[in-house]
Amino acid sequence: MFESLLPAPPDPILGLTEAFKEDPNPAKINLGTGIYTDDNGKTPTLDCISRSEKILAEKSTSGGGYLPMTGLAEYDRSVVELLFGADHEMVQSGRALAAQTPGGTGGLRVAADFIARTNPGAKLWMSNPTWANHNGIFTAAGLELGTYPYYDQESRTLAFDEMVTALKNVPAGDVVLFHACCHNPSGMDPSPAQWEELAELAAAQGFLPLFDFAYQGFGEGLVEDAFGLRAFAAKGIELLVASSFSKNFGLYNQRVGAMTVVAGAAEAAQNAMSHVKLCIRTNYSNPPAHGARLVATVLADAELRTIWEQDVATMRNRINSMRRLFVETMAAKTDKADFSFVATQRGMFSFSGLSKEQVLEIREKHSVYIVGSGRISIAGITSANIEPLCNALASVL
Ligand SMILES: Cc1ncc(COP(=O)(O)O)c(C=O)c1O
């Protein structure tokens, strides 16, 4: 059976990481993958996680049987509290319920299977552009896909009017995917006023919002970054959220995420969860325990939680300072392009505006790795590589 198979196309982002690893040039720079690195180019283990590991080791909780299909109960509770605030009526009443999933990708796939199962005719609308894996995840679940305009490459701004016009044509029952903050790949988010307008639109149109929340705390702050989904929740509409703790806890390889259902009442949320459980059972049965235990331990302990909030602020501030440094350094080197927009955007990514040819040239001549769309991972910039990076960029403009 396998002899006739041709190789599948490489993943556009993870394939680039493989090429980067194979490059023998010691001065190579990776702005491809979405992994946070510190100023030494290392992906740190957060202080709160090291302490949480110690607490768990002392408790020796790592053994035991399977977790429930929806994962650790205390973790699930912490997830909805982080999304909406611990005192929120939705959290207290039980009409917002989370299921622990293997990473944000797992949360998105569970959401996709849940939509396909409970609302088989629904079409899912994604921003153009969006994270490359969205297409694959929702297609794999059998959903029909559409796109709405999001980013204007010319003016480097949000194409808000075009977005609203397109969403006004989305019928009730369809699903609209939003990036809750730190839009990947553009780095452009709606303003609070624009989120309010989108929430009103969702309420009027009757479409189901699905939020991809992979970067809580990387934009403006843990609470500020939840503004969009909280604006929707305030309208009393149903919604879904896929959370990832890969970035904000630095737990990439532990696979820690969640899928949250917000319904009109607790009973409807429980009924929805019964379908979510079936999607999980027939996919991976139940999630892995350790990463969720680490996160739940941090969030339940006042001291560890404060340390985590500082850890997240440190990562956010570093990214934002690299954004400013990049703009200043490029401005000093060339007047062929204006990169000032990079400092106004948020999260790990921005579009550099480089063409496919320039992306290839900078890789071949300077070992600078950027994905074909020109998306750059700001978290890959350091005070040591900023000069060679900007020299290389300026040379291909
Ligand atoms: C927008 C977006 N959604 C989801 C994910 C997936 O996160 P995880 O690594 O937790 O599966 C990512 C990761 O890069 C992302 O950028």
CA of 26 to the centre of ligand 1 (A): 29
79, 133, 138, best to mutate for ligand 1 pocket (most atoms within 8 Å of CB) = 133
Q: Answer yes or no: is 7 within a domain.
A: no
pLDDT over 70 (residue 37): yes
> Which of 252, 278, 300 lies at the terminal end of a domain, its last residue?
300
Question: Is the pLDDT score of 17 beyond 90?
Answer: no
Judge if 357 and 384 occupy the same domain: yes
Residue 190 has pLDDT above 70, yes or no: yes
Based on the residue annotation, tell me whether 11 is a catalytic residue of this protein: no
CATH for 336: 3.90.1150.10
The last residue of one of the domains, among 268, 300, 332, is 300
Tens digits of per-residue pLDDT, 234-279? 999 999 999 999 999 999 999 999 999 999 999 999 999 999 999 9
- The per-residue pLDDT for range 106-131, each reduced to its tens digit, is 999 999 999 999 999 999 999 999 99
Can 131 be counted among the known catalytic residues? yes
How many Cβ atoms are within 10 Å of 95's Cβ, its own excluded?
23
**Range(s) of the domain holding residue 332:** 14-45+314-396
Residue 332, pLDDT above cutoff 90: yes
- Give the CATH number for residue 191: 3.40.640.10
pLDDT at residue 73, rounded to an integer: 97
Check residue 139 and give its pLDDT: 97
State whether 91 and 168 are in the same domain. Answer: yes
| Whole-number pLDDT of residue 59 | 86
**Last-in-domain residue among 270, 300, 330:** 300
Active site annotation includes 125: no
pLDDT in the model for residue 330: 96
Q: How many CB atoms lie within 10 A of CB 392?
A: 19
Question: How many domains in the chain?
Answer: 2
pLDDT at 232: 97
Per-residue pLDDT reduced to its tens digit, 65-94: 999 999 999 999 999 999 999 888 998 899
Percent above pLDDT 70 for the chain: 99
Counting atoms of ligand 1 from 1, which one is nearest the CA of 183? 1
Measured distance CA(5)–CA(301) in Å, rounded? 52
Q: Is the pLDDT of residue 63 over 70?
A: no
Whether 213 has a pLDDT exceeding 70, the answer reads yes
pLDDT value for 62: 57
Task: Kindly state whether residues 248 and 109 are assigned to the same domain.
Answer: yes
140 in the same domain as 251: yes
User: Which of 17, 137, 184 should be mutated for ligand 1, with most atoms under 8 A from CB?
Assistant: 184
Residue 8: inside a domain: no
Instruction: State residue 14's pLDDT score.
Output: 76
What's residue 176's pLDDT? 98
Would you give the distance in Å from CA 247 to the centre of its chain?
A: 8
Is residue 260 included in any domain, yes or no? yes
CA distances from 97 to 258, 289, 378 (A): 10, 18, 34
Mean pLDDT value across residues 150-178: 96
Residue 53 covered by a domain: no
